[in-house]
Amino acid sequence: MAGKIPGFLLGTRLREMGRLLVVALSLAVALLVYFRLFGTPFVDAVSRWTAASAAQTLNALGASVVNTGTVVGSSSFAYDVVAECTAIGPIILFAGAVLAYPATWRSRAIGIGMGVVLLSAINLVRLVSLFYIGAYFPNYLPMAHYLVWQAAIIIFAILLWLWWADRLTGRAHG
């Protein structure tokens, strides 16, 4: 009997492998969707909306900025909100993970809705902070933009998914 896997363990292993395959395929589809969206009118509209939201927030905080299309700027600093500057990537990653997780469709819809709102909000915080860093500490902008915020928004998406999976899916914890 040595070397033989009992039937109940084999079934468990196959279910685990199936779940892993579903997650991998879901995230692969999410990645394909993300790359297919680049250059589409939808992404262009989201980029303009993101830039307008950042400009409105900055003006509400006392910065004097102007928004033209996807550009947000003042007399001291400006940036262009391209597709990668929107929350589309983290939202697609999050939605792919939510859809791959075994949960009710209601729980998935709530999770995706929550993810769209919260990831868009954290992205807005990101853009506002990057504006101030670019205006007042330009030497730190590349590090804040490419290292800190890119990692932070992905970590936030993962933590949000973990929270959703733990609290809002209705699955029993063992």
Tell me whether residue 68 is in a domain. Answer: no
Tell me whether residue 136 is in a domain. Answer: yes
Q: Where do we find the tokens 């109940």?
A: 8
- How many independent structural domains does the chain possess? 1
Q: Is the pTM of this model over 0.85?
A: no
Q: What confidence score (pLDDT) does residue 171 get?
A: 58
* Residue 93, C-beta contacts closer than 8 angstroms, at least 6 positions apart: 27, 30, 34, 154, 157
Q: What confidence score (pLDDT) does residue 172 get?
A: 47
Tell me whether residue 95 is in a domain. Answer: yes
Q: What confidence score (pLDDT) does residue 7 get?
A: 61
- Domain assignment of residue 86, given as a range: 10-39+82-167
Positions in the chain short of pLDDT 50: 172-174
Tell me whether residue 150 is in a domain. Answer: yes
Tell me whether residue 64 is in a domain. Answer: no
- The first and second tokens of residue 78, run together, are 């400006």
Tell me whether residue 125 is in a domain. Answer: yes
Show the DSSP H helices in the chain as ranges: 7-37, 41-60, 88-100, 105-136, 141-142, 150-167
